[in-house]
Amino acid sequence: MFDIIIKNIGSLITAQGTNSLSGKNQGKVQVYSDVSIGIKNGLIEYIGEAPTEKAKKTINANGALVTPGLIDCHTHFIYGGSREEEMYNIITGHMSYSEIIKSGYGILSTVNDTREQTENTLYKKSIPILDSMLRHGTTTVEGKSGYGLTLKDEIKILNVMKKLNDNHKISIISTFMGGHVIPNEYKNDRSAYIDLICNEMIPEISKLGLAEFCDVFCEDCGLNMEETDTVLTAAQKYNMGIKVHSDQLETSGGSYLAARFNAISAEHLIMADDMSIQTIKKQGVIAVLLPNASFYLGMPYARARYMVECGIPIAIATDYNPGSSPTLNMQFIMKLAYIIYRLNPEEILNAVTINAACALNRGKEIGTIEIGKKADIVVWNSKSLHFLLYTLDNNLCNMVFKSGELVYSKSEV
């Protein structure tokens, strides 16, 4: 007996397998028409014609499109305060994003606001954010620390993520990002802050098991190449997976470090030149592209089509944060990627499902609808993937299943 059967699925579209997809396979999907999915113990047990086996509950998809749950593989969702005044300054041309950071605001304003919050306040503030992510179809989210920048405050943020992961339906994967920017109190002694990251933060966070990955903002206004190299060396020593924020605001060299450290992903890549792109390609690094950070800051867009043609697996995420991308809506991001990157709908679907899963080292458990994988599934208020990406209106999620449980439904079922 199944726990749940989802019947009358008009079109089920999913990638196959556990590995990231690239080049011609970036958009390779399996399309099933008029099928049902059987779920047991939180896992997908059956895909096919209406099964003869009974279920405790049957849900009618009414001919809709069904896809894997969306995976937002790059966010900074734990933060205090907000930065609408900074947005005003950027829009009216008073200051650029990097000038704001260099003058001690921007990311550093959020650092001040986050330091002032208790663990409990940050926890409570994050629940509606995660609720809204689920309602928009995100079933797994990666979260980066990096708005604490002291041992205590970085641990506070990572603890919040751990507790949220334990108590909220959405799955959260944590990344330590003490190497975000140099905090104001170390601006005249940068190397002392790098020492603090390497000798205290990474060892302690690793001992507490609070972060699976380590990320660094390798940029003129973040950490330089040498500092990034030092931090990644320490992270690797403690067996953290490596991610790099690279080439967002200038050609920073971050991609070379991503390749050298065998990073799982290089993220942003707006200004990545041909050499940087070839270097990550050679090393099998996944490119995590964040179109809203470009849109929002009025920056150029990453060369997504070129990267696909080079054979680099592309993942796409929100970069949800209060400075450069205040949206948690993956549907909007997918539409932006469609219109601006000119990727096709199947390439985008794989970028936010299987490739995003692989960018989080979760390709074996999530990212596709296949027997044995977690039943993280979205039933859309759309008959086709083309329609889903075509309209900018509203939240098109009709139902969201997380580990086999119906966690959001637009109407009574």
Judged by the rule CB under 6 A, the positions of this chain that interact with ligand NIG are: 76, 106-107, 110, 217, 245, 248, 293, 319, 321-324
Q: How many residues does the chain have?
A: 413
Tokens of 144: 């980066």
The reply to whether 247 sits near Fe ion by the rule CB under 5 A is: no
Nearer to Fe ion by Cβ, of 144 and 402: the residue is 144
The reply to whether 142 sits near Fe ion by the rule CB under 5 A is: no
Contact range with Fe ion by CB under 5 A, out of 89-97, 312-320, 338-346, 370-378: 312-320
Cβ within 8 Å of residue 150, ≥6 positions away: 115, 183
The distance of closest approach from Cβ of residue 401 to ligand NIG in the complex, given in angstroms and rounded to an integer, is: 30
Contact range with Fe ion by CB under 5 A, out of 114-122, 123-131, 301-309, 317-325: 317-325
**Burial class (CB within 10 angstroms; exposed 0-12, middle 13-18, buried 19+) of 195:** middle
The reply to whether 319 sits near Fe ion by the rule CB under 5 A is: yes
Nearer to Fe ion by Cβ, of 292 and 403: the residue is 292
What count of Cα atoms within 13 Å lies in the side-chain half-sphere of residue 113? Answer: 15
The distance of closest approach from Cβ of residue 106 to ligand NIG in the complex, given in angstroms and rounded to an integer, is: 6
Nearer to ligand NIG by Cβ, of 9 and 107: the residue is 107
Q: Which residue is nearest to Fe ion (CB)?
A: 319
Nearer to ligand NIG by Cβ, of 101 and 396: the residue is 101
Q: 10 Å Cβ neighbour count for 381? A: 17
The distance of closest approach from Cβ of residue 240 to ligand NIG in the complex, given in angstroms and rounded to an integer, is: 18
Integer Cα distance of 72 and 325 in angstroms: 13
Q: What is the DSSP string of 209-220?
A: T--SEEEEEEST
Integer Cα distance of 319 and 380 in angstroms: 23
SS3 content of the chain, % helix, strand, coil (to 5): 40, 25, 35
Nearer to Fe ion by Cβ, of 319 and 347: the residue is 319
**Residue numbers at the binding site for Fe ion (CB under 5 A):** 319
